[in-house]
Structure 1
């Protein structure tokens, strides 16, 4: 992919920060200039927001991939070398010590309707007990612990306890298969698996322990399985000597725990890429640099205030929640919402009920959910008091301009700024995002790189492309929260991210993007998603955005299909926002695309579906749409929010083809 990607859409709407918001914002325009003078010193100032047991002696060192002799080696970064800290102490204990023990850390809302309120003092006691339990189970510094739990308080408690004792956690999404869980246990060499008897999913209690046992079978490194009682299953499979109940081993422990302190570069967690293409990569994040950037970026991007009720809706196993529902907010002493279930259980307005009930001020969610809301509530949700909202956030993939506008108008009362954040599991924290008291917002744009960070859009040779032209999105330089390596495979770390532009020292993100004349960046989707139609290279994201801009469309997923005439053809899958005949909608949308973008971008096929295949982290799995349309066997689908969707789409595709053939 290079600068020949077509620029399809131009967005002209602008929204400066509300004057009242700007007047009290945590950061102002000067933060970019301050960071530009000395980026390393900027991150040192950010690191001083944390409590360090011992100061660092060297702020940053970097050994790039390209060697003086022209060879390549896996690069090496260190931040705050020599400094020692405890991540859990920074997220819990220091707030209690400062007198904020009675402040709520989490308002938990369970899917069945159960609730818990956990203060920072409560969290300190629970983490202390869990840390003692880990020690009793033989877990110490550097040991790996795999956590396979739903979004419940015990997930946060055990994660913090693992960090507290210096072990390394790897959280696994509770909807993943036994095979996916097994791979992560084996790859990390985990000594402990933390799981549950069952999970609540869409109103039903689903057993989990047998699936966990299947994953654990034959794993020589695994010594214990710690089981949380969540659903009250009565027939839980059990292996004596290996399995222990949470309530038996954790609840009897002391409520005070003496923390150790660990080097800034001590591994904190391993998070795996989704594995939708090839073997998942276990990305290793360390302690001091990661927490520094997680904490500062949460405080700056979300304008974190002492009285905020903040809600990041991501599953705790995704990196979004690691950084912006665990470590970032907790390090800032923020009160958060934790919700176990899906947005439509038992009603489609469940999230809005929670916002109203708890007075949520900051709501950070995925474009996928926003577009789903557009199909459920085309004219906006009614009957809910959402007036507490002062800031909205978007994460997961590029947000379509019309979805952005709907979000602002109907959830943010037409005034709340939206911070559209771009980052990855690999980056550990946001790289591009607006600062809500400073940035003039453009619907659909992730704005630009945050202070002390630099992104570029380059061609296949690494040269900057002109404004408006599409290219590879890269990060120029290093940053504290960056993944240090791929667990057990440093060569893959080099090959995946650093080898392509090693001569320039750029990190390759794998996303396509364009920048406008003012330097603001617009994501064009994964580089693998660009469609080549008769030599024209077109962005799936921009075609989707044009489709979603039509009032009859709630969601859209665009993919490539093999075509005998054009080589590749555009196929669009759309979820209508209102009842409409599929044939009429397809004709209307083809004309709409031709008018908004041009005839070259008209989809060959427009297929009306009830839902799109989406991961729990909020991404449309366009690869699966391509597999369906070309009749290929589907790859890994374990990360899907609803595994039944691909089969339903395949039936729709087959029916549409049958109708076409009968008409010929």
Structure 2
């Protein structure tokens, strides 16, 4: 665990909240003050934004970690809205229809191939009801686990809400994951049902899926049925493998079901879904999120940070299997009754401006995406989108997944947002369930690269290994002091791992260890420095990989950068920088320019020992750079688990580039 991280980059640009938002935004500075005065009362008020069948009798209880006489630690336990009952799907669909908004568009769907579909809230109510009845007919009931292994299509959203409607527990798996990854999640949860598709569209090709799903089920004895959505049809010409009696077509099962369903209501602490961490550092953890607390915080934070309005057209670009989409493409926006966009495909298929085309077509007002995608767009459109695209309806932009480099932030703000759209840079995790640090568009003064302030009702600190607050400008461990009701309650089947991963380090203080490093500036704004493991120790100086990457990306020749520590006989560790350029080839001149630029931006100690020009970086399917692979590639170490990579050919490409360019650098 880190002691302190050297933070040397000065940040000065300020972007106050626009006057128009300061006057009309959903959340004001007075709301923040009220939340600070009584967080539990604040969350009770937020909970009243939802429909409850039975009101709660106790808003919050907390049993912290305690040390027993034998020295062992207990497992923490928290509960929110005890005694209250509700239904998540009803809150996301039925209540809007009951309020007379059934004709409001809930979803504009666009397939990668250009097919389109629009669903109103009334349409969604009928579809979710049919799917819920179909699930019940297959023997799925309250508490049963359902694995959803589908691409980003309406059926994924419908299936998710149907599972929630009947009180079962869903766990979504990214459609590009391997059969082994699917099997692990089935077996870990003991799932009864797998929902999958015949195939999926990926980068302009129809790719079979069902055979991989069958391989997962073959080693998963708990699966009773496989429900199959027909997505690619004849475009995947091979016959779909089929097991009679087990496999069922979605269109057959759902079409035969009634489009009305009388919902039950469930205790607030009823598990809603299991979200698996990526597994990049070991066995994936199945984080359990419960119905009431999660839905309250998901709904409130979406309404607050995106200033949700009745005429918004909202687009979160995350894959539905990630927690980002659970909170900010399913439960958050639907609970608030907004219209949203869903796009199945990759952002450059069939052309690099596909996202701009979609924003224009549907009149998107809020665009929430990953820094990885923004950097890619910046590399392809350095002067901004072509003038042929009308993005004038955009009023808010958002980022999620990793910290955004200040220079990329400015490009996003100026070129996509026309200098008028606040950027909602959100920090949170699968474990927290909802945003913890993020700007409030009508309140917060923005700083490029900073997630700014903690949101109402929660609190964070930046501390050293002993738990003491670090001084402004000094990096330390980012801990969550007050977590909010959406916090994951446990790790499925392994409560001790939950305790050890998140609570054991600061159990005396009762703080949640995020695993990220951060610093606070003199104004109290938070700068997230990336994972604690992504700190590079050079001659005794602990440097943030993210900050060095920010310096590199601010150079005009660099589109994207990934930095890692590598072995060095003199300094112990040295900085290796993998950079994606705007077409500039590897050369000693480029290396010298980037080393000098980094020294100017941060200091001589941060100069990369190696600069390696590559086509792309190793990233998870949610867009996070796997920095550990970068160091292992340069040091020639085994790479270990790479199943979460979005492109499994990248490590070999990087290894070849490293061999050529590091050797060339050493000769020079």
- Per the normalisation by structure 1, the TM-score is 0.98
Structure 2: segments with no counterpart, 5+ residues: none
Quick one: structure 1 residues 22 and 152, their matched pair in 2 at CA, closer, same or farther if it must change by over 3 Å? Answer: same
Encode CA deviations 1:277-327: one digit per residue, 9 max, x unaligned.
Answer: 110000000000000000000000000000000000000000000000000
Q: CA deviation digits over 1:420-457, x for unaligned, max 9?
A: 00000000000000001100000000011111111000
1:191 aligns with 2:195: no
Q: Name 2:556's counterpart in structure 1.
A: 551
Work out the CA distance in 1 between the residues paired with 2:463 and 2:216.
Answer: 43
Q: Deviations over 1:123-149 (max 9, x none)?
A: 000000000000011000000000000
| Matched residue, 1:656 | 661
RMSD over equivalenced CA pairs, Å: 1.2
Q: Residue in 1 aligned with 2:102?
A: 101
- Secondary structure of the residue that 1:326 maps to in structure 2? helix
Answer whether contact 1:275 1:281 (CA < 8 A) is retained: yes
Provide the rounded CA distance (Å) in 2 between the counterparts of 1:623 and 1:462. Answer: 27
Match in the other structure for 1:535: 540
User: Superposition pairs for residues 271-290 of structure 1, below 5 Å?
Assistant: 271-290=275-294
* Residue 296 of structure 1 pairs with residue 297 of structure 2: no
In structure 1, what is the Cα distance between the partners aligned to 2:219 and 2:548? 48
**Paired residue for 1:405?**
410
Shift of 1:175: 0.7
Quote how far apart the aligned CAs of 1:658 are: 4.5
2:27 maps to what in 1? 27
**CA shift for structure 1 position 478:** 3.5
Structure 1 partner of 2:326: 322
- Number of residue pairs the alignment of both structures matches: 663
Q: Does the Cα contact within 8 Å between 1:106 and 1:336 map onto a contact in 2? A: yes
Contact 2:586–2:613 (8 Å) recurs in 1 = no
1:593 to 591, 598, 603: 598
**Distance in 2 between the 1:603 and 1:230 partners?**
47
Residue matched to 1:264: 268
Higher mean alpha-carbon deviation, 135-144 vs 64-73, is at 64-73
TM-superposed deviation, 1:26: 0.5
Give the alignment of 1:434-453 within 5 angstroms: 434-453=439-458
Whole-angstrom distance in 1 between the partners of 2:651 and 2:113 = 28
| Counterpart position of 1:377 | 381
Give the Cα separation in 2 of the matches to 1:427 and 1:566. 37
In the TM superposition, residue 579 of structure 1 has moved relative to its aligned partner by 3.1
Quote the Cα distance in structure 2 between the aligned partners of 1:35 and 1:13. Answer: 28
Q: Give, in whole Å, the separation in 1 of the partners of 2:166 and 2:63.
A: 30
Correspondence list, 1:13-162, <5 A = 13-67=13-67, 71-162=72-163
Alignment of 1:11 with 2:11, yes or no, is: yes
Helix, strand or coil at the partner of 1:353: helix
Give the Cα separation in 1 of the matches to 2:518 and 2:219: 45
- Which residue does the alignment assign to 1:344? 348
Distance 2:410 2:482 in 1: 34
Distance 1:44 1:657 in 2: 58
Instruction: Tell me what 1:564 maps to.
Output: 569
Q: 1:636, CA displacement in angstroms?
A: 2.1
Deviates more, 1:381-390 or 1:503-512: 381-390
Cα pair 1:375 1:578 within 8 Å, conserved: no
Give the corresponding residue for 2:628: 623
1:642 shift after superposition:
1.9
2:587 to 571, 582, 585: 582
User: CA-to-partner distance for each residue in 1:145-202, whole Å, 9 max, x for gaps?
Assistant: 0000000000000000000000000000111111111100000000000000001000
Residues 610, 662 of structure 2: 8 Å contact kept: no
Cα offset, 1:660, TM superposition: 4.7
Q: Structure 1 residue 20: deviation in Å?
A: 1.1
Deviation at 1:68, TM superposition (A): 7.3
Match of residue 481, structure 2, among 465, 476, 482: 476
Q: Could you report, residue by residue, the CA deviation over 1:206-250 in whole angstroms, capped at 9, with x for unpaired residues?
A: 000000001110322110000000000341011111111101111
How many Å separate the matches in 2 of 1:389 and 1:582? 40
Are the equivalent residues in 2 in contact too, given 1:57–1:82 (CA < 8 A)?
yes
Are the counterparts in 1 of residues 586 and 612 from structure 2 also a CA contact under 8 Å?
Answer: no
Secondary structure (helix, strand or coil) at the match of 1:479 reads coil
Q: Distance in 2 between matches of 1:275 and 1:62?
A: 29
Q: What is the CA distance between 1:3 and its match in structure 2? A: 4.7
Aligned 8 A contact 1:374 1:577 in 2: no
2:436 corresponds to? 431
Partner residue, 1:203: 204
Query: Counterparts of 2:63 and 2:505 in 1: how far apart (Å)?
Result: 16
1:580 CA drift (Å): 4.5
List structure 1 segments (4+ residues) > 6 angstroms apart after TM superposition.
Answer: none
Matched residues in 1 for 2:38 and 2:665: separation? 63
**Superposed CA offset, 1:555-583 (max 9, x none):** 01001111111111100011112435533
Q: CA deviation at 1:10?
A: 1.4
Q: Distance in 2 between matches of 1:345 and 1:633?
A: 33
How far apart are the structure 2 equivalents of 1:394 and 1:358? Answer: 20
Residue 432 of structure 2 contacts residue 483 of structure 2 at CA under 8 Å; is this kept in 1? no
* Larger CA deviation: 69-78 vs 398-407: 69-78
Q: Where does residue 610 of structure 2 map in the other structure?
A: 605
Q: Given the alignment, which residue of 357, 360, 364 partners 2:361?
A: 357
Q: Return 381-390 or 409-418, whichever deviates more.
A: 381-390
Q: d(CA) in 1 for partners of 2:68 and 2:41?
A: 27
Superposed, 1:485-500 pairs within 5 Å as: 485-500=490-505
In structure 2, distance between residues paired with 1:623 and 1:379: 33
Tell me the residue number matched to 1:163.
Answer: 164
Partner of 2:427: 422
| C-alpha separation in 2, matches of 1:497 and 1:592 | 38
Match of 1:366 in 2: 370
TM-score, length-scaled by structure 2? 0.98
